[in-house]
Amino acid sequence: MPKMKTNSGAKKRFALTGTGKIKRKHAFHSHILTKKSNKRKRNLVKTGLIDVTNVKQVMAMLGK
């Protein structure tokens, strides 16, 4: 049987935590930053977690 391939984009964007949750980065922090407040930009730096409704799809993309 052929091996299941990991989605290349997903492995660059997501990371598993020790407890099995999936970390992600926030969008809207790459350009056009002058109009965004310092508070908004600071909060975009922090990592977030994948929503429960997307866990199954992301795990499939990661080959887990």
Residue 3 resides in a domain = no
**pLDDT score at 1:** 83
C-alpha angle 9/29/21, rounded to 5°? 50
Domain containing 12: what range? 8-62
Q: Quick check: 6 pLDDT over 90?
A: yes
**pLDDT score at 28:** 96
Q: Is the pTM of this model over 0.75?
A: yes
Contact status, residue 13 vs residue 24, Cβ threshold 8 Å: yes
Residue 1 resides in a domain = no
Q: Quick check: 64 pLDDT over 90?
A: no
Residue 31 resides in a domain = yes
Percent of the chain whose predicted confidence (pLDDT) is above 90: 92
Number of domains within the chain? 1
Q: What is the mean pLDDT of residues 6-34?
A: 96
Q: In the predicted model, what is the mean pLDDT of the chain?
A: 95
